[in-house]
Copies of this chain bind each other. A is one copy, B any other.
Amino acid sequence: MIVVMKTASTTEHVNYIVNLLNQMGLSGWVIDGNPQKMIEVLGVNGQADRALLEDAPMVDRVLEEAKPILAASRLPGEKTLEILLGSAASIRARKLGIIAGPCSIESEGQLLEIASAVKEAGAVALRGGAFKPRTSPYSFQGHGERGLELLARAGEETGLAVVTEVMRCDHVDLVARYADVLQVGSRSMHNTHLLAAVGRQSKPILLKRGWCATLEEFLLAAEYVMLEGNRNVILCERGIRTHETYVRNTLALAIVPEIKRVSRLPIIVDPSHGTGQSHLVTPMSNAAIACGADGLLVEVHHSPPQAWTDGQQSLDLEQFRSFMKGLKAFAAAADREL
């Protein structure tokens, strides 16, 4: 049970409710939400005198659910939130947001060559990893801040918004200085402190679904961000781990129309991690758009066999151009535009 306080509630009001709970033999845990404070009721739910709580003047309402989706839910008739990716780009209404670029930022030359090509082909934003979460400590972990500098420069030169991953709470300010969009990766979807930290700044968040997260856990991760005041969350399906072996992950596209039904947040699809195979990127991107995705996150490299990371799932520049051309018909069929 969760007691939602009215917006203007003070600490005193909150304490009043906590005392009321104590008198019922329960405890209260205070959630410092923005704009509304809340109190989770701890102990045996059945002991709470709901009417008494609802009657308290500074209480807005009392929720029976343990894990409500308060900020990310879609209201009846509501449209998907429009989200600006920096000053130049956006994910909004009919316009699809295609974000493309290398898995890892390797060098200035590499990044600029790829950035120019994806811009020309129609991408609205550039992706590139500076801090890399890797399975092995003996694998390249990214160029760090130098990578961020290269990314920001490539964004300026091409006019593309830039997207990159942030992996730890004490890096949020650093990454936000360089990036237009902060990515919270799959391995971090359950990192609640990081979610709250990116929620306390204003740049939009690209939140990837965890490897085996449920729909509810995915939306609750978005709640962690939104509860802090940042409503600019873009969800991203990138495949789940199953028994399948011909793909790196199983792209579970049904989550796209389901998210559109229950949530106001836009959702894009990462067909690169979602399949792990470059030859599957194009058909699965077409499918993603066909079932309602608001955009795509695609790995592109000027020379995939030489890529430091994820070469097997990267399109080369020529493939990306064909990819974008082919996508147009599916965008049109879905009543969207590139």
Binds B, one of A51-59, A113-121, A275-283: A275-283
Q: Does A247 interact with chain B (Cβ within 8 Å)?
A: yes
Distance A270 CA – B31 CA, assembled complex (angstroms): 30
Distance of A326 from chain B, by nearest CB (Å):
9
What residues on B are CB-neighbors of A192 within 8 Å? Answer: 133-134, 137, 141, 167
- On whether A257 and B244 interact (CB within 8 A), knowing A38-B138, A250-B252, the answer reads no
The residue in chain B whose Cβ has the minimal distance to the Cβ of A288 is B287
Report A78 CB to chain B, min CB distance, Å.
17
**Interface-central residue, A187, A195, A253, A306, by most chain B CB under 10 Å:** A253
A251's partner among B43, B217, B253, B332 (CB-CB below 8 A) is B253
Instruction: Tell which of B42, B68, B193, B258 touches A308, judged by Cβ atoms closer than 8 Å.
Output: B42
Assess whether B333 is in contact with A140, with CB atoms less than 8 Å apart.
no
Give residues 234-282 of A contacting B (CB, 8 Å).
240-247, 250-258, 261, 274-275, 277, 279-280
Residues of B within 8 A of A224 (CB): 137
B68→A138 contact, CB < 8 A = yes
Counting chain A residues whose Cβ lies within 8 A of the other chain, the interface size class is 35 or more
Inter-chain contacts of A191 with B (CB < 8 A)? 133, 167-168, 187-188, 191
Q: How many copies does the complex hold?
A: 4
Q: A227 CA to B134 CA in the complex, in Å? A: 14
A313 to B: closest C-beta gap in Å: 12
Query: Are A136 and B169 touching (Cβ within 8 A)?
Result: no
> What 1/0 mask marks residues of chain A from 286 to 304 whose CB sits below 8 Å from any chain B CB?
1111111000000000000
B242 touches A254 (CB 8 A): no
Q: Which of A86-94, A95-103, A147-155, A207-215 contacts B (4 or more CB under 8 A)?
A: A207-215
How far is the CB of A92 from the nearest CB of chain B, in Å?
Answer: 20
Q: Are B286 and A334 in contact (CB under 8 A)?
A: yes
Contact code string A179-214 (vs B, CB < 8 Å = 1, else 0): 000000001101111111000000000000011101
Complex CA–CA separation, A296 to B136 (angstroms): 27
Q: Are B308 and A43 in contact (CB under 8 A)?
A: yes
CA distance A284 to B68 in the complex (A): 27
Question: A292 CA to B280 CA in the complex, in Å?
Answer: 11
Interface presence of A66 (CB below 8 A): yes
A66 to B139, CA, bound (A): 7
Question: Distance in Å from the Cβ of A272 to the closest Cβ of chain B?
Answer: 12
The reply to whether B258 and A254 form a contact with Cβ atoms under 8 Å apart is no
**Which B residues lie within 8 Å of A175 (CB)?**
none
Given A138-B38, A167-B193, A212-B211, A254–B250 Cβ distance below 8 Å?
yes
Check: A106 CB closer than 8 A to any chain B CB: yes
Residues of chain B within 8 A (CB-CB) of A216 are 135
Which one, B67, B275, B284, contacts A135 given CB within 8 A?
B67
14 A–B contacts, CB within 8 A, in A order: A67-B139, A135-B217, A137-B227, A168-B168, A169-B169, A211-B211, A242-B252, A253-B287, A257-B279, A257-B284, A258-B280, A283-B290, A284-B291, A329-B332
Extra contacts, 11 of them, besides A70-B138, A242-B242, A247-B254 (Cβ < 8 A), are A40-B138, A44-B305, A68-B138, A136-B220, A167-B192, A242-B252, A258-B277, A258-B280, A286-B290, A287-B288, A290-B290
